[in-house]
């Protein structure tokens, strides 16, 4: 994505935006498989990424949008919090320190503040992702 301040237009919609959660999960699996077969070129230190949050209404949508923010259309940057943490270690497109500008964050807050773990307990994914990113050297700004 373009650096902040540049007049890059926002994409209208992603190809996966209209899919249901199950199909988004399948799309995320494909993005992960593709990413594991490629060598990524990490951006330089200090890069600013823009996360377009308009379609983040479920967990796969969050990780698909994050992958595209970092690595462009069809990009991958984790499929769970542990995988995001792994991606922050390098060779997945991002070099810390960096900044993530999360646009339309309210959409994700509404949908991801009470997510269920496999054991049935609830957690706030919307709050936990910025913490994981911050621990990896990525400053998150909600917009």
Q: What percent of the chain has pLDDT over 90?
A: 78
Q: Phi first, then psi: what are they for 124, rounded to 5°?
A: -100, 90
| 138 within domain boundaries | yes
CA count, 13 A, side-chain hemisphere, 64: 29
104-139 per-position pLDDT tens digit: 999 999 999 999 988 999 999 999 999 999 999 999
50-106 per-position pLDDT tens digit: 999 999 999 999 999 999 999 999 999 999 999 999 999 988 999 999 999 999 999
Give, as one character, the DSSP assignment of residue 116.
Answer: E
| 2 within domain boundaries | no
| 78 within domain boundaries | yes
- The boundaries of the domain holding residue 86 are 41-142
Q: Domains in the chain: how many in total?
A: 1
| 11 within domain boundaries | no
What CATH number should be reported for the domain holding residue 106? 3.30.370.10
Q: Is the dihedral of CA 32, 36, 38, 43 positive or negative?
A: positive
| 123 within domain boundaries | yes
| 52 within domain boundaries | yes
Q: Which residues contact 19 (CB under 8 A, 6 or more apart)?
A: 27
| 50 within domain boundaries | yes
**Model confidence band, residue 8 (pLDDT cutoffs 50, 70, 90):** very low
Q: pTM, whole model, 2 decimals? A: 0.89
pLDDT confidence of residue 4: 41
């Amino acid at each position: 994505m373009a650096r902040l301040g540049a007049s890059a237009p926002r994409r209208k919609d992603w190809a996966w935006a209209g899919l249901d959660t199950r199909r988004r999960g399948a799309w995320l699996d494909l993005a992960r498989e593709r990413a594991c077969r490629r060598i990524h070129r990490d951006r330089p230190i200090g890069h600013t990424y823009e996360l377009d949050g308009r379609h983040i209404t479920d967990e796969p949508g969050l990780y698909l949008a994050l992958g595209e923010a970092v690595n462009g259309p069809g990009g991958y940057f984790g499929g769970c919090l542990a995988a995001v943490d792994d991606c922050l270690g390098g060779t997945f497109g991002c070099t810390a320190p960096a900044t993530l500008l999360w646009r339309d964050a309210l959409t994700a807050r509404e949908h991801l503040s009470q997510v269920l773990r496999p054991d049935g307990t609830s957690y706030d994914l919307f709050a936990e992702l910025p913490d994981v990113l911050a621990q990896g050297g990525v400053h998150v700004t909600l917009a």
